[in-house]
Amino acid sequence: MKRIVGLFTLFLAMTLVCCKSEKRTAENPFFSEWNTPYGVPPFDRIAPEHFLPALERGMSLHDAEIDAITSNNDEASFENVILAYDNSGKMLAQVELIFGMLCAAENTPELEKIQEQAAPLLAAHADRILLNEKLFARVKEVYDRRAALDLDAEQMRLLEKTYKAFVRAGALLDGEQKARLKEINEELSLAAVKFGNNIRTETNNYVLMLTNEELDGLPAGVREQAREKAAQLGKKDRYAFTLHKPSLIPFLTYSSKRELREEIYKAYLNRCNNGDEFDNKQLINDFIRLRTEKAHLLGYPSYAAYVVDDEMAGTTEAVYGLLDEVWTPALERAKGELAEMEELFRKDVPDGEFASWDWWYYAEKLRKQKYALDEEMLRPYFSLENVQTGIFFLANRLYGITFRPVVVPLYHPEALAFEVLDADESHLGILYFDYFPRDGKSQGAWCGNYVEQTYEDGKRVAPVVSVVCNFTRPTSNAPALLTLDEAETLFHEFGHALHFLFHDVRYRGLTEVEGDFVELPSQLMENWAFDPEMLKQYAVNYRSDEVIPQYLVDKLRKSKLFNQGFMTTELIAASLSDMDIHSMTEYEPFDPEAFEREALTEKRGLIPQIEPRYHYPYFSHIFDGGYSAGYYFYTWAAVLDKDVFEAFRESGDLFNKRIADDFRRKVLARGGSADGMTLYRDFRGKDPDKRPMLRARGLWNGPDPVDTLAVMPAPAGATPVESVPVK
């Protein structure tokens, strides 16, 4: 039970905050209970000016809740310390979720200013709690007596994760070290905001405006998209191409104007690297300087070592071991792909040299030559509506869940909302989709929560989940027709959404999973995207209602390894550059371009015709996206997702409901209630096998290798196993 003094402190804090501005309190939707359908945020009432007061109140309430824990004179217990801590800060967490999601999906200059104000305040608040000596003393008191507390497995997991979170946040440091760590965290939070805003600005600022005579090679649909974009910009007789992927990639793929391909691709590659106010090179130095110092304070040789210590991989050596194993055969395969394309290139440019901006164009030519397959002939079968229908069909076939459109508040008119119903028609959650590029939206695709799954008074609070993408827009004469990559991306993000929707976790502190486990549910869904039986269910020509013909399905199947060398090489290149820059043991000012060149070209032989998927100045994942020293997650998780899919293949039924239900119960529903490897072994009954991943990328043709990824020791208290895999 909390002491009276704790309750009084909480009441006093609430009173003081409420008295600051009665008018603002009355109008701010965060300060009252939501009377919205299904508990979705009241987007129709939320305005930018509401966030800072709501964040401030959330921090004040959280401080009071922490004070109630530390001022309690009763013996520290799981209930009055660990559970009380897990239940604290709910208002702040809710406001932060909405604020963060909107800043990514629907940012404005006003929100950007609020971000810059809020980021250091939130960082300082987190440190104020995680570096609270009285709070940590009570957490440690419970932790030290854990063996005698008769806790169940989830309670023990929550206790251990809570204790470790405090230690990793610096709870064991002395006063001077803690003060410096707080400064570092505040600086890093502000640097992340500036970095992301610079990328968004640079991306939006570039437009390649062309005349009709400069459109050679571009399909009609691509031209129409560009014409409508130009009209939006007030240029009715022009065609506008931007650095957003739905505009950039088709241009690189089809434009026969090599000099224009070079211009737009260089603009993409040089974002935030132009020596102007949006240049990110100094921020990159700041990140590495601060992160390296933080790692040293916390007892790690490098920031990469600090990050990976808390992931499935466990060590940077394990990460490099996997990346290096994939790098060599991928690069060799890419060189073979280049040799084939150079034959076509020589016919067009006898005296020129094949460059990175030529890859998409000649890859598409080669695909037509080898497989008589043109992505433009496929796009009519992949309308956005049909692909969405496909993922709904798959979820129903595997898990029995259904989706129905609902009328709820939207944060943007283009967003769609669905209620997700379980097999017994009970409410699972709400799922938003937001498909198209906008100036206020960050690039890429992601999935996140507006409301997290929790338990209140013993009842499950259903999550509110959002899938955000940047897909090809519809035009005046055609619906949104997706590329194969866009279709696969929707399957991927939908996998994340299922993970959130299926969560059934008792404690808030057990919702998150390891970073290199989080991509398993998403990448697993990709395996069904172009399966022949799946294609017959959703790939329907939007004009004729014709189901995709078998000859096209066969072409897709035969071409599934096409260009895999390139795609894997650019992915691993970015993963290696991320690990390398975060593996610095001592910081000295450096030129990011030179560092990357040495790491990839000079050290590992990356060919100039392939750029890493991201260069440092716009590598949002690792500087403002939560994947610092973690871009390897996708490759690590690929080992897991391909091995899980093998379970379906081995059963002879890719829609095996028993296996799907097993995966839902043992993995998706459990969140982080056990470590990732324990969850994986519980489902699969064995360590993950690398061979399916290597085969899927065309990187293994010989006899089977030693196939488990032995990377990490069994977690404390786990049953020993003879070999330990990775993800």
For residue 318, pLDDT over 70 is answered with yes
Domain end (from 269, 292, 322) = 269
The residues that are catalytic are 493
Identify whether residues 9 and 92 lie together within a single domain. yes
Residue 709 has a pLDDT of 53
Helix (H, G, I), strand (E, B) or coil at 689: strand
Residue 199 has a pLDDT of 97
Identify whether residues 115 and 58 lie together within a single domain. yes
Identify whether residues 80 and 158 lie together within a single domain. yes
- pLDDT tens for 270-308 read 999 999 999 999 999 999 999 999 999 999 999 999 999
CB atoms within 10 A of CB 647: 16
Residue 700 has a pLDDT of 78
Domain end (from 224, 241, 269) = 269
Residue 703 has a pLDDT of 54
CA proximity to 64, closest of 91, 27, 82, 100: 91
Amino acid letter, 624: D
**What's the number of domains the chain is made of?**
3
| DSSP letter (8 states) at residue 299 | T
Total residues belonging to the chain: 727
| DSSP letter (8 states) at residue 478 | B
Residue 350, C-beta contacts closer than 8 angstroms, at least 6 positions apart: none
d(CA 137, CA 143): 10
Identify whether residues 19 and 167 lie together within a single domain. yes
d(CA 15, CA 590): 51
CA proximity to 530, closest of 508, 514, 553, 507: 553
Integer Rg of the chain from CA: 26
Rounded mean pLDDT, 243-267: 98
Please answer whether residues 354 and 451 qualify as being in contact, where contact means their C-beta atoms are separated by less than 8 angstroms: no
Residue 712 has a pLDDT of 37
For residue 126, pLDDT over 70 is answered with yes
User: Cα angle at 345 between 339 and 346, to 5 degrees?
Assistant: 95
d(CA 522, CA 391): 12
d(CA 453, CA 511): 8
Task: Give the CATH number, domain containing residue 61.
Answer: 1.10.1370.40
Identify whether residues 286 and 367 lie together within a single domain. yes
By the 10 Å C-beta count (0-12 exposed, 13-18 middle, 19+ buried), 594 is classed as exposed
For residue 571, pLDDT over 80 is answered with yes
Identify whether residues 47 and 149 lie together within a single domain. yes
465 phi and psi angles, rounded to 5 deg:
-115, 150
CB atoms within 10 A of CB 586: 8
* Least confident stretch, 487-496, 548-557, 564-573, 697-706: 697-706
Residue 719 has a pLDDT of 26
Alpha carbon distance, N-terminus to C-terminus of the chain: 42
For residue 722, pLDDT over 50 is answered with no
Identify whether residues 263 and 296 lie together within a single domain. no
Identify whether residues 149 and 215 lie together within a single domain. no
Q: What is the pTM of this model?
A: 0.92
The answer to whether residue 673 is domain-embedded is no
Q: Extract the tokens encoding 579.
A: 């690990």
Identify whether residues 13 and 121 lie together within a single domain. yes
Q: How confident is the model at residue 60 (pLDDT cuts 50, 70, 90)?
A: very high
Structural domain range at position 46:
4-130+132-172
Residue showing tokens 């399957």: 491
Contacts 24+ apart (CB under 8 A), 25-30: 25/53, 28/53, 28/54, 30/54, 30/57, 30/58, 30/91, 30/94, 30/95
For residue 352, pLDDT over 70 is answered with yes
Rounded mean pLDDT, 176-196: 98
In three-state form (DSSP H/G/I as H, E/B as E, the rest C), the secondary structure along 504-521 is CCCCHHHCCCCHHHHCHH
Residue showing tokens 């379980």: 422
DSSP lists the bridge partners of residue 464 as 430, 451
The answer to whether residue 310 is domain-embedded is yes
Residue 708 has a pLDDT of 54
Residue showing tokens 């398993």: 520
Residue 372 has a pLDDT of 95
Task: Give the CATH number, domain containing residue 347.
Answer: 1.10.1370.10
Residue 257, C-beta contacts closer than 8 angstroms, at least 6 positions apart: 214, 216, 217
The answer to whether residue 557 is domain-embedded is no
Please answer whether residues 421 and 403 qualify as being in contact, where contact means their C-beta atoms are separated by less than 8 angstroms: yes
Please answer whether residues 280 and 237 qualify as being in contact, where contact means their C-beta atoms are separated by less than 8 angstroms: no
Task: Work out the percent of the chain whose per-residue pLDDT is above 70.
Answer: 93
Identify whether residues 241 and 318 lie together within a single domain. no
Domain end (from 269, 289, 313) = 269
For residue 21, pLDDT over 80 is answered with no
Identify whether residues 13 and 141 lie together within a single domain. yes
Identify whether residues 212 and 334 lie together within a single domain. no
Rounded mean pLDDT, 191-220: 97
* Least confident stretch, 3-12, 46-55, 131-140: 3-12
Please answer whether residues 508 and 86 qualify as being in contact, where contact means their C-beta atoms are separated by less than 8 angstroms: yes
User: Cα angle at 525 between 522 and 530, to 5 degrees?
Assistant: 135
Q: Mean pLDDT in the chain?
A: 93
Residue 176, C-beta contacts closer than 8 angstroms, at least 6 positions apart: none
Rounded mean pLDDT, 486-494: 98
The answer to whether residue 487 is domain-embedded is no
d(CA 442, CA 229): 18
